[in-house]
Structure 1
Amino acid sequence: MSRNVGGTWTIPGGALQLNESVEECITRIVLEDIGIKIMKLKLFGVYSGKELINRVEVSGDEYHPVAIVYVCTEYDGEITPENNQAIEAQFFKLNQLPEQIVPFIKNKLVELKGQLTKIKDSY
């Protein structure tokens, strides 16, 4: 997870560039923002709805993103946030999430934890 220093924790994300796949986009953004090279992704879900509406503070404009969420199962490197963006980043265990976390993200991580528990219990 990452956040602007002192801000709310979230997961890396951003906008697609021209001619870029969703997988290429998230791979690029994670590498740029926190220095991790993603090697393997698994689609977790595609989400939209009222809880995702964002507002630009300066203009007050609202936009409605679609969240395409992946779970990274293989990566290379260590977290090294880009210094000039004042970003801090770290890994959290699913049962030790930080207090200041975007509610939508927290709900999806709790959902992921439940799915992983079901898979583990079926073995």
Structure 2
Amino acid sequence: MAEGYVMDLRKKIGHVPMVIACASIIIYDEKRGILLQKRTDNGKWCYHGGSVEPNETVAEAAKRELFEEVGLSAGYMELYTVASGADQHFFYPNGDEVHIVDTVFICNDFSGELVLEETEVLDCQWFAFDNLPEEILLATKAPILSFCQEMLQKKLSGVTDN
């Protein structure tokens, strides 16, 4: 979680539970699979995203987070899901507790070269839809598994985005 609105609030309220609006993006390519990043704070794999800043739309936040974390620019995005509930209850290693409401987009229209934001991202790799890493962050696991299952079903039925 980068410096910004949420970190400013944390300086005032400490580690108490907060409901946080987040925006995320699942980057995919029908041939390469899904692009996941490995977090520095817990070593888990996840999609790209973070908290929404004041006056920012969720689409703007998702695009900003993608660029900040891995250096890619997103073009057209499609709303995929809004994740909330028990799986979105998260403790950061520093003790901050959050209940995330995550607006998740999907995108296969992206450009740029991978450049990792080393304070947040240890690694970034493509994974086949049927060969995901074991250590997926719980808060992102359900949308990732659901999306990959949908992509595998599309592949079996011969449907493509192109």
The answer for the alignment partner of 1:49 in structure 2 is 85
Judge conservation of contact 1:79–1:90 (CA < 8 Å) in 2. no
Structure 1: 5+ residue runs without aligned partners?
none
Whether 1:88 and 2:123 are equivalent positions in the alignment is: yes
**Quick check: 1:67 aligned with 2:76?**
no
Secondary structure of 2:132's counterpart equals: coil
The 1:61–1:35 alpha-carbon spacing in structure 2 relative to 1, beyond 3 Å, is closer
Question: CA-atom RMSD, angstroms?
Answer: 2.2
Q: Map of 1:18-57 to 2, 5 A cutoff?
A: 18-57=54-93
TM-score by length of 2: 0.65
Count of residues paired in the alignment: 122
TM-score by length of 1: 0.83
SS in 2 for 1:66: strand
Alpha-carbon contact 1:39-1:75 (below 8 Å) kept: yes
- State how far apart, in whole Å, the 1-side matches of 2:120 and 2:138 are: 23
Contact 2:91/2:97 (8 A) holds in 1: yes
Give 1:31 shift. 0.4
Cα deviation digits, residues 9-41 of structure 1 (max 9, x gap): 111111111211101001011101101110111
Unaligned runs of 5+ in 2: 1-35
Find 2:136's aligned residue among 81, 101, 112: 101
Q: 1:53 to 1:2 in 2, by over 3 A?
A: same
